[in-house]
């Protein structure tokens, strides 16, 4: 029951409500104030106060009759729904069904007469729409008969009746309306037995709203009762207020300075609001919305419902405010966002004359709710109550005008395929007695089988007596049903917790469901043994003793056995020990990719020291810096590498010369497993590399996991193609050598094409794998592929599907600070979703945390933080940076445990796998919105013909712009216009790059990562000069654009919505085309082809022989041409 219906009913019972000093007061006989009445008043308290205060300011103003020229203007809400329907002509999203179950003797002729009387009684039920002079108007027919259909199933079996009845009702609910002609309502009667039938009335939402349906149901049955049993009672008077009166009054009231003030209030509140809610979607947004929805329902148990009512009384609030607070905090938990917007449909019947009227009066409010600082539920509830009080004072502001205002200011893209201001909604409904008697015929209002999605996720809380029911409607194109069932269960848990303990905070552990706790516990159930008896180098020596003739290293046409390798390693190790090398000594290694490199790395470890790898391909300046910064005591280098660092004054040994005749026994001090294993230099935010210090225990934990994860047949011949300065090299070199397998050493991944060894495992970055696929270099002996370091494109996975013999493909994730790999996933190559990064490897724990350091629930995005045996000791000689990134682990039981903050974003999927979301430090703020560049790059990579992409923020005249550099797939030449349109379908407008350019390859660091610092600025090769309109169609459109948008100079590649267009101005553009040139492009077309060039090309293609001079004369009616539909 709506507020208006409740007030009307109370007045008939002699009960008057009023507001005194901000509090709701009741003037009624004592016996009339029942507990049921108290409950209903409590449910609606804040809405009643707002309604009455609003009504007290409006009741002196009578809504005048529309005395202007017929036809009357459409209301603001009608205009919005009409636009949606024209852009989405096949969508039933705004069908409004009224479903009645009829029991008793039915006179069908009397029922149709009653329906005719109902249509005759309300002008709005005989309304269609048309454009006149660029404005939408209502055309009210003198007489109209709704299309009606009767289906008789009385002679069928019960099973057939039940099944066919549901299908008939469902089909009728989902059949779209043609907004350009005909009745916008229809009726279906299904006769099941002589005494049972189903009546379905389906109206377009532009004719009515939810409260109207209850009015129509009562009036229809009243007409029927008086038709079948005429009595002396007078028929109810015809309403004096027509919907056209309201529409004209609304437009006059909400215009000029008043409208500007209201819009200013809302734009101030929505300034900087996030453009989208990062919900844990199961599917990418489709190119075109289907609006297909479904619903998951849950009735709260009586104890919980009673606890909620008690909580509302204790907080002096209504169920509306209480449940809205729960929903907002739930959304914050699942999205990881604490600043969010929710759409709230309101009845908008503040004027007393509208209480019993039929029509579309509903408006949509945008609740911006901020939950920063991990608030208690009780404090968040107070904030929501304050928002409700403020917002209801501005509740008449037309929603579409707000969208237009924000669009004009560059704040939103007016995209009817995506909620421009919110993607989720909330409503509270009251389910009172739904039975109506019409003489011997009994009718019951039932839920119709309409399943549409107006937003991605809509929560309805249904109050029925003392009970509450949750109904969560969702877009099936975005969510799986099991995901939404999980949402409902999480909501039930939050309601239960906060009803009893409102002092609990947003991120309190108690807000996790038991299932979520189990999922998180299982995620970190990673305890596993680590064999600490032997260092990695000692493990290699043991294999040399066991299988001295086995091949350890395959390089070009040479093979090195384990016995030969051990002799060389031992000799060089003794030479190092003789020079004072011991545990914690750092020895630099700068050698080309030959077996000498592997000998040097192992020899340093056998001597008990830590190696510092340097790549001869690196610039001399970087090599010298790393030598000094690491405090290297020695450098192992050949003559060519030594020449690169001639300015370094330390001692240099050549592994090919030193220790070649040394004893097999190594007289070294055995290191402790807490001692250093190696130091890897990675890029630093200051522009100077930083050394990551890795201990021996961390390396052993990695190797023991890898030995368990990859069967012996897969790691028999492991390709080593990665620079030793990159952490993947630890996996490639030490995994095979510590398990008795073979390292296949090549100069880089592309050298695989020349390699004759039977490679069984490749560990590389996805971009290198894409090149191997393109060149056909993958060997038939390949059994396993491990990729890491960057997102894996779908094209790469598709290419691997056809590789015969390949058994498994893995995606790994891990920073150098956690010893190469932290998480691991075997991939399903058929899964269309982005490849997950899996679960933590053995002895590693993962925590996803919000900015305050609290765990986020499964599905929500949080910073990926790592703990366990793989953590580095820290950054070499940088205690401040180490303390900043390696923090105490609050979740560990052992003292001194640490947590590494990666700066990466991830979320836990429903299947227990982690999904990588991007980098925190790749977030930028553009036009007031915080944007994740990784999200834009991921969407661009999914576009056809795009192999790789980098997005960067470029400043032009002080204004930040997004610039995209793309690499095309070999042999492909994608059209930039198509790519732009595809992006606009997938992301908000402000996330579509302004600059686009092509590069042959993206600049990368020696480790294979994208080098953003070397991306070119948008210059002559990418910067576009203005292309003014040149063709006749382009000039015609440019003139009309200027007319409706208010500015004159256009580039033909300008997009209508990017330069201030919105649904209202697009409608005016279509109308002006009809008026001036007799052309009516469907709004769907103008929306899809939104650049000036594309719209002009469409016109040329659609009407190649048209006369382009303006048409129309004294006897012409271009608006009528529009209605007849030239196209």
Residues 900-941: tens digit of each pLDDT: 999 999 999 888 999 998 877 765 645 434 466 776 887 788
pLDDT beyond 70 at 147: yes
The token pair that represents 673 in the structure block: 């497993």
Query: What is the reported pLDDT for 759?
Result: 94
**Cα 671 from Cα 455, distance rounded (Å):** 61
Whether residue 744 contacts residue 732, with contact meaning beta carbons closer than 8 Å, is answered with no
Query: What is the reported pLDDT for 928?
Result: 39
Q: With helix as H, strand as E and coil as C, how does 695-734 read?
A: EHHHHHHHHHHHHHHCCCCCCCEEEECCCCCCCHHHHHHH
pLDDT beyond 50 at 1109: no
Query: What is the reported pLDDT for 786?
Result: 96
Query: How many whole angstroms from its chain centre is CA 891?
Result: 29
Domain boundaries, the chain: 3-58, 72-243, 254-280+289-432+449-505, 536-908, 927-1014, 1032-1124
Alpha-carbon distances of 754 from 729, 772, 835, 1042, rounded to whole Å: 20, 12, 30, 62
Q: Who's near 1000: CB < 8 A, 6+ residues apart?
A: 967
Query: What is the reported pLDDT for 789?
Result: 83
pLDDT beyond 70 at 631: yes
For residue 71, cis peptide bond before it (omega within 30 degrees of 0): yes
Considering the segment(s) 254-280+289-432+449-505 as one domain, its CATH architecture is 2-Layer Sandwich (3.30)
Query: What is the reported pLDDT for 1024?
Result: 45
Query: What is the reported pLDDT for 1103?
Result: 64
Query: What is the reported pLDDT for 377?
Result: 96
Query: What is the reported pLDDT for 416?
Result: 46
Confidence of residue 1125 (pLDDT cuts 50, 70, 90): very low
**Cα 866 from Cα 648, distance rounded (Å):** 37
Tallying the residues shown for the chain, one arrives at 1127
Q: How far apart are the first and last CA of the chain?
A: 45
Q: What percentage of residues in the chain have a pLDDT greater than 90? A: 50
Query: What is the reported pLDDT for 1127?
Result: 24
Q: What average pLDDT does the segment 1081-1093 reach?
A: 80
Confidence of residue 297 (pLDDT cuts 50, 70, 90): very high
**Cα 884 from Cα 866, distance rounded (Å):** 14
The token pair that represents 109 in the structure block: 């002729």
Dihedral of CA atoms 970, 976, 981, 982 in degrees, nearest 10, equals: 10
Confidence of residue 1104 (pLDDT cuts 50, 70, 90): low
pLDDT beyond 80 at 440: yes
Nearest in space to 854 (alpha carbons), one of 330, 329, 274, 333: 333
> What mean pLDDT is reported for the chain?
86
pLDDT beyond 70 at 763: yes
For the stretch 960-1005, pLDDT in tens is 678 899 998 888 888 887 888 788 766 656 678 888 888 888 887 6
Query: What is the reported pLDDT for 298?
Result: 95
Dihedral of CA atoms 886, 891, 893, 899 in degrees, nearest 10, equals: -10
Residue given tokens 């947003």 in the structure block: 506
The backbone torsions φ and ψ at residue 103, rounded to the nearest 5 degrees and listed phi first, read -125, 130
Q: If one looks up domain 3-58 in CATH, what number appears?
A: 1.10.10
Can you give the pTM of this predicted structure? 0.75
CATH class entry, domain 72-243: alpha beta
Q: Which fold has domain 1032-1124?
A: 1.10.1200
Asked which of 511-515, 716-720, 837-841, 886-890 is least confident by mean pLDDT, the reply is 511-515
Query: What is the reported pLDDT for 274?
Result: 83
| Residue, of 207 and 3, whose pLDDT is higher | 207
Residue given tokens 């008690």 in the structure block: 310
Helix (H) or strand (E) holding 483: helix 481-500
Query: What is the reported pLDDT for 1120?
Result: 35
Whether 1032-1124 and 536-908 are alike in CATH topology: the answer is no
pLDDT beyond 60 at 1086: yes
Q: Are strands 959-968 and 839-840 parallel, antiparallel or unpaired?
A: unpaired
**Cα 964 from Cα 995, distance rounded (Å):** 6
pLDDT beyond 70 at 21: no
Residue given tokens 């449940």 in the structure block: 323
| Residue, of 288 and 586, whose pLDDT is higher | 586
Query: What is the reported pLDDT for 30?
Result: 64
Query: What is the reported pLDDT for 471?
Result: 95
- Three-class DSSP category at 102: strand
pLDDT beyond 60 at 99: yes
Confidence of residue 126 (pLDDT cuts 50, 70, 90): very high
Q: Which fold has domain 536-908?
A: Rossmann fold (3.40.50)
Q: What average pLDDT does the segment 609-613 reach?
A: 97
Whether residue 666 contacts residue 605, with contact meaning beta carbons closer than 8 Å, is answered with no
pLDDT beyond 90 at 201: yes
Q: What average pLDDT does the segment 775-782 reach?
A: 89
231-244 burial, b at 16+ Cβ within 10 Å, e below that, comes to eeeeeeeebebbbb
Query: What is the reported pLDDT for 1022?
Result: 43
Q: If one looks up domain 927-1014 in CATH, what number appears?
A: 3.30.300.30
The token pair that represents 866 in the structure block: 């790592």
For the stretch 52-95, pLDDT in tens is 766 555 444 678 888 876 789 999 999 989 988 888 888 899 99
The torsion region of residue 653 among left (phi > 0), alpha (psi -120 to 50) and beta comes to beta
Surface-to-core class of residue 36, CB atoms within 10 Å of its CB (0-12 exposed, 13-18 middle, 19+ buried): exposed
Q: How many CA atoms lie within 13 A of 777 on its CB side?
A: 19
Query: What is the reported pLDDT for 518?
Result: 87
Query: What is the reported pLDDT for 683?
Result: 66
Asked which of 99-113, 250-264, 1018-1032 is least confident by mean pLDDT, the reply is 1018-1032
Confidence of residue 1114 (pLDDT cuts 50, 70, 90): very low
For the stretch 567-582, pLDDT in tens is 999 999 999 999 999 9
pLDDT beyond 60 at 410: no
Query: What is the reported pLDDT for 1121?
Result: 34
The backbone torsions φ and ψ at residue 909, rounded to the nearest 5 degrees and listed phi first, read -75, 170
Query: What is the reported pLDDT for 1119?
Result: 36
The token pair that represents 300 in the structure block: 């709260």
Query: What is the reported pLDDT for 838?
Result: 96
**Cα 767 from Cα 761, distance rounded (Å):** 17
pLDDT beyond 90 at 1062: no
For the stretch 527-586, pLDDT in tens is 999 999 999 999 999 999 999 999 999 998 899 999 999 999 999 999 999 999 999 999
Q: What average pLDDT does the segment 268-287 reach?
A: 84
Surface-to-core class of residue 640, CB atoms within 10 Å of its CB (0-12 exposed, 13-18 middle, 19+ buried): exposed
């Amino acid at each position: 029951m709506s507020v208006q219906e409740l007030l009307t009913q109370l007045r008939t019972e002699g009960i008057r409500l009023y507001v005194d000093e901000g509090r709701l007061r009741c003037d009624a006989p004592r016996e009339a104030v029942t507990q049921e009445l108290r409950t209903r008043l409590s449910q609606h308290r804040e809405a009643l106060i707002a309604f009455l205060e609003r009504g007290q300011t409006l009741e002196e103003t009578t809504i005048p009759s529309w005395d202007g020229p017929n036809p009357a203007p459409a209301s603001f809400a009608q205009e919005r729904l009409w636009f949606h329907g024209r852009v989405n002509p096949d969508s039933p999203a705004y069908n409004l069904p009224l479903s009645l179950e009829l029991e008793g003797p039915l006179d069908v002729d009397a029922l149709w007469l009653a329906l005719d009387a109902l249509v005759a009684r309300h002008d709005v039920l005989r309304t269609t729409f048309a454009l006149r002079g660029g404005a939408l108007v209502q055309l009210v027919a003198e007489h109209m008969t709704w299309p009606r259909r009767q289906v008789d199933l009385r002679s069928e079996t019960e099973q057939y009746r039940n099944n066919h009845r549901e299908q008939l009702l469902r089909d009728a609910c989902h059949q779209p309306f043609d907004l350009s002609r005909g009745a916008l309502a229809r009726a279906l009667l299904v006769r099941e037995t002589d005494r049972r039938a189903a009546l379905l009335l389906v109206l377009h939402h532009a004719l009515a709203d939810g409260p109207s349906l209850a009015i129509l149901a009562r009036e229809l049955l009243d007409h029927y009762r008086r038709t079948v049993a005429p009595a002396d009672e007078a028929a109810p008077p015809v309403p004096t207020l027509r919907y056209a009166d309201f529409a004209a009054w609304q437009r006059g009231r909400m215009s000029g300075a008043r409208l500007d003030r209201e819009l200013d209030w809302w734009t101030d509140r929505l300034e900087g609001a996030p453009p989208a809610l990062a919900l844990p979607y199961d599917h990418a947004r489709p190119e075109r919305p289907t609006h297909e929805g479904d619903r998951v329902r849950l009735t709260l148990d009586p104890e919980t419902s009673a606890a909620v009512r008690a909580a509302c009384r204790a907080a002096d609030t209504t169920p509306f405010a209480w449940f809205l607070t729960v929903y907002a905090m739930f959304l914050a938990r699942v999205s990881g966002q604490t600043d969010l917007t929710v759409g709230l449909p309101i009845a908008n019947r503040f004027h007393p004359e509208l209480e019993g009227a039929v029509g579309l009066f509903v408006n949509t409010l945008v609740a911006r709710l901020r939950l920063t600082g991990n608030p208690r539920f009780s404090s968040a509830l107070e904030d929501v109550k304050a928002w409700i009080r403020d917002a209801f004072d501005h509740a008449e502001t037309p929603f579409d005008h707000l969208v237009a205002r924000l669009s004009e200011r560059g704040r939103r893209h007016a995209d009817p395929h995506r909620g421009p201001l919110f993607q989720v909604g909330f409503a509270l409904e009251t389910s009172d007695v739904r039975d109506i008697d019409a003489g011997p015929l009994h009718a019951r209002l039932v839920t119709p089988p309409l399943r549409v999605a107006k937003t991605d996720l809509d929560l309805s809380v249904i109050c029925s007596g003392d009970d509450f029911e949750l109904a969560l409607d969702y877009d099936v194109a975005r969510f799986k049903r099991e995901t939404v069932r999980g949402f409902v269960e999480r909501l039930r848990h939050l309601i239960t917790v906060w009803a009893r303990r409102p002092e609990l905070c947003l991120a309190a552990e108690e807000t996790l469901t038991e299932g979520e706790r189990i999922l998180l516990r299982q995620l970190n159930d990673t305890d596993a043994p680590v064999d600490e008896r032997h260092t990695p180098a000692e493990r290699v020596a043991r294999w040399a003793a066991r299988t001295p003739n086995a091949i350890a290293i395959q390089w070009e046409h040479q093979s090195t056995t384990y016995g030969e390798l051990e002799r060389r390693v031992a000799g060089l190790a003794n030479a190092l020990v003789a020079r004072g090398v011991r545990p914690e000594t750092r020895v630099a290694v700068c050698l080309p990719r030959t077996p000498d490199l592997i000998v040097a790395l192992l020899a340093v470890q056998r001597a008990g020291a830590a190696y510092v790898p340097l790549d001869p391909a690196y610039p001399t300046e970087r090599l010298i810096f790393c030598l000094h910064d690491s405090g290297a005591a020695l450098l192992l280098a050949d003559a060519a590498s030594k020449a690169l660092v001639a300015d370094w004054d330390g001692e240099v040994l050549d592994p090919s010369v030193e220790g070649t005749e040394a004893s097999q026994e190594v007289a070294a001090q055995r290191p402790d497993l807490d001692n250093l294993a190696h130091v890897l230099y990675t890029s630093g935010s200051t522009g100077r590399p930083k050394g990551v210090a890795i201990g021996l225990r961390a390396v052993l934990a990695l190797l023991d996991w890898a030995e368990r994860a990859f069967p012996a047949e897969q790691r028999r011949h492991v390709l080593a193609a990665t620079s030793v300065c990159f952490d993947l090299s630890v996996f490639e070199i030490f995994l095979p050598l510590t398990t008795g397998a073979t390292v296949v050493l090549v100069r880089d991944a592309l050298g695989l094409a020349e390699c004759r060894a039977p490679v069984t495992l490749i560990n590389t970055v996805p971009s290198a794998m894409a090149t191997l696929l393109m060149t056909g270099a993958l060997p038939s002996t390949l059994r396993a592929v491990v990729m890491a370091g960057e997102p894996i494109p779908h094209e790469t996975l598709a290419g691997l599907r056809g590789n015969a013999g390949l058994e498994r493909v893995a995606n790994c994730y891990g920073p150098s600070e956690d010893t190469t790999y932290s998480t691991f996933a075997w991939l399903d190559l058929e899964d269309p979703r982005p490849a997950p990064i899996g679960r933590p490897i053995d002895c590693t724990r993962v925590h996803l945390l919000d900015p305050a350091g609290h765990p986020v629930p499964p599905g929500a995005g949080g910073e990926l933080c790592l703990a366990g045996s793989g953590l580095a000791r820290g950054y070499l000689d940088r205690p401040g940076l180490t303390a900043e990134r390696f923090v105490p682990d609050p979740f560990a039981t052992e003292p001194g445990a640490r947590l590494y903050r990666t700066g990466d974003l991830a979320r836990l999927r429903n299947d227990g796998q982690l999904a990588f979301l991007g980098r925190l430090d790749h977030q930028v703020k553009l036009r007031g919105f915080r944007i994740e560049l990784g999200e834009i790059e991921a969407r661009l990579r999914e576009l056809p013909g795009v192999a790789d992409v980098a997005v960067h923020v470029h400043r032009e005249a002080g204004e930040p712009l997004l610039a995209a550099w793309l690499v095309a797939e070999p042999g492909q030449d994608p059209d930039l216009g198509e790519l732009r349109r595809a992006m606009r379908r997938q992301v908000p407008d402000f996330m579509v790059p302004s600059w686009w350019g092509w590069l042959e390859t993206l600049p990368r660091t020696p480790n294979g990562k994208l080098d953003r610092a070397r991306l070119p600025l948008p210059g002559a090769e990418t910067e576009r000069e203005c292309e003014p309109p040149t063709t006749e169609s382009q000039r015609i459109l440019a003139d009309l654009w200027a007319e409706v948008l208010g500015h004159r100079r256009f580039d033909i590649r300008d997009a209508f919505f990017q330069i201030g267009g919105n649904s209202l101005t697009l409608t005016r553009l279509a109308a002006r085309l009809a008026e001036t040139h007799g052309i009516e492009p469907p709004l769907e077309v103008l929306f899809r082809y939104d650049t000036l060039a594309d719209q002009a090309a469409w016109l040329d293609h659609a009407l190649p022989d048209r006369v382009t001079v303006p048409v129309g004369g004294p006897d012409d009616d271009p608006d009528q041409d529009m209605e007849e539909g030239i196209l």
